[in-house]
Copies of this chain bind each other. A is one copy, B any other.
């Protein structure tokens, strides 16, 4: 028997866990994620609710080979960083990244308040890369240096 489909965020434990090797884990220590896709038993869509504490990053700046991503800002303000520069985003803004576009992106909360958003994804988890640091990722080997040696 399925519950009503509105996600009860209070019933989901937020986690700040990350698989990033040190020191790349430090900027995401203030990123609190709720796995809403898993809670709703979605298998085709990945979906997370994310709260960024002041100073926290959404991720290391990255792009995906095989996955589309889309983010809806719910509250607060954040700075979107890409190759081309920075853009401030706020509530109601929708941001989308097509798979395979090699322009890394992430959000940084430079404000004094929390911000929150929903991030969804779909496609093939082939891997991706991190333009600002010596790290790349693929589904088989996990996090690696850019010469292919594992972390």
Q: Which residues of A contact B (CB under 8 A)?
A: 2, 4-7, 9, 36-37, 39-45, 47, 49, 66-70, 72, 74-75, 80, 82, 84, 87, 89, 92-99, 101, 103, 105, 118, 120-124
Contacts and interface: CB of A to CB of B under 8 A. Distances in A.
Interchain residue pairs A-B with the least CB separation, the first 9: A122-B122, A44-B123, A40-B96, A44-B122, A44-B68, A45-B68, A7-B94, A42-B68, A41-B98
B74 A47 contact: no
B40 A98 contact: yes
B101 A74 contact: no
When all copies of this chain in the complex are counted, the total is: 2
A103 B41 CA distance: 14
15 contacts: A2-B101, A6-B89, A6-B95, A40-B70, A40-B96, A42-B99, A43-B123, A44-B68, A44-B123, A45-B69, A45-B123, A47-B94, A47-B96, A70-B120, A94-B118
